[in-house]
Amino acid sequence: MTMTPVTVARSDRATDVLAIEDLGVRLGGRDILADVRFTIGAGEFVGLIGSNGAGKTTLLRVILGLAAPTTGTVSICGERRAARKGLVGYVPQKIQLDPDMPVRARDLVGLGLDGHKFGLPLPSRGRRQQVDEMLRAVGAARFADERVGNLSGGEQQRVMIAHALISSPRLLLLDEPLANLDISSAQEIIALLARVSSQRGVSVLISAHEMNPLLPVMDRIVYLAGGRAASGTTTEVVRSEVLSGLYGHHVDVIRVHGRVLVVAGTGDGLDIPAEAGAVGGAVGEAMAADHPPSLGEQVGHGRSLGHGSPDDGQPGDQA
């Protein structure tokens, strides 16, 4: 069952913005991540794909230094602990921003510049210009003086990206930034990220449970499943052999009209084809194991009946 993660041979290690070697995270006696290794070069746009619970957030937190790995190393630009030095920008998973909070978009972006400093902030023209420029760069100038809690999901993401980018990091980590966005907002955010990545030479590692929206912009993919990772180009990684090895059972990869579908399971009628990343079949299997067969069939035919996960549309939840 062991498999060697696919890694693209990289000639110049010195240019690696992120290098992860033999990384393992064990929590409560359970392997969350094992044997993870990949690198990200300067200016690369990398998608971190996996179903919910695959360990994406854990991996990002380890890279940030918010969680400690059990084994292995993480180095950023050759340094072991780099988050404090402003080398890494971070956009966390869905933050609850309260409309009652008197924090405007420009305040939050400004905190990206000097939020870690002590003492009262002194207003300065240079700081204001820097914040204005950043807000324009992410298309957030229009709502710069709004309370962040009053902004839409897409607008909040722009502000969060500006907050993360203003300290000129080498690596930008985004945890499921598309999760709560409608399709057009998601497309806008992806286009924005691709643009700032190439303009500023920032490497991007973006986690998502669905890879299709990212296909046009991704240089490489890191695919997480079963606590292990495979990395390479999309064509190298998203193949039946590779993903079957990660999941530990047969997985089909179907390419149709420029989209990729990953279908897991044995084809016993319960499989729900899911978009890439989420193992649809696993839903059927988990359900079939948990419920009597009749119920399982019901589940298979109509998840809208309420047997699915509470937040439907994220089939990997049950896996």
Partner 1 sequence: MTSLLHLLFAPGFLASPPVRLALLTGGVAAFVSGAVGAFTVLRGQSYAGHALADLSVTGGSGSYLIGISPLLGFAGTGVLAAGVMDMIGIRRPRGRDLATGIVRGAGLGLAALFLFWDTTHTNTSGVAVTILFGSMFTISPAVIPLVVGCGLVALAIVAVLYRPLLLSSVSADLAAARGIPVRAVGLLCLIAIALAVSLSALTIGTILSTALLVGPAATALRITDRPGRATVTAALLGVAVTWLGIVLAYDSFTWPPRHDGWPVSFFVVALILVGYLLAQLVGRRRPVRRVES
Residues in the chain: 319
DSSP code, position 253: E
Tokens of residue 31, six digits = 């392997």
Residues within window 49-78 making contact with partner 1, judged by CB under 8 A = 64, 66
Q: Where are the alpha helices (DSSP H) in the chain?
A: 56-64, 105-114, 125-137, 153-165, 183-200, 234-237, 240-247, 280-290, 293-301
Measured CA to CA, the distance from residue 18 to residue 15 in angstroms comes to: 9
Residue 150's alpha-carbon distances to 128, 135, 136, 192, in angstroms, are 22, 17, 19, 21
**Site for partner 1 contains 201 (CB under 8 A):** no
Binds partner 1 (CB under 8 A): choice among 4, 9, 80, 118: 118
**Least CB distance to partner 1 at residue 147 (A):** 6
Residue position matching structure tokens 């972006």: 109
DSSP H or E segment with residue 36: strand 30-41
**Least CB distance to partner 1 at residue 138 (A):** 15
| Closer of 115 and 248 to partner 1 (Cβ) | 115
Binding-residue pattern over the window 125 to 144 for partner 1, x denoting contact by CB under 8 A: ----------------xxxx
| Strand order through the sheet with 251-256 | 251-256, 259-264, 274-275
Binding-residue pattern over the window 151 to 170 for partner 1, x denoting contact by CB under 8 A: ------------x-------
Binding-residue pattern over the window 73 to 112 for partner 1, x denoting contact by CB under 8 A: ----------xx---x-x-x--x-x--xxxxx--xx--x-
Measured CA to CA, the distance from residue 177 to residue 150 in angstroms comes to: 18
Binding-residue pattern over the window 258 to 287 for partner 1, x denoting contact by CB under 8 A: ------------------------------
Query: Rule CB under 8 A: which residues touch partner 1?
Result: 64, 66, 83-84, 88, 90, 92, 95, 97, 100-104, 107-108, 111, 114-121, 141-148, 150, 163
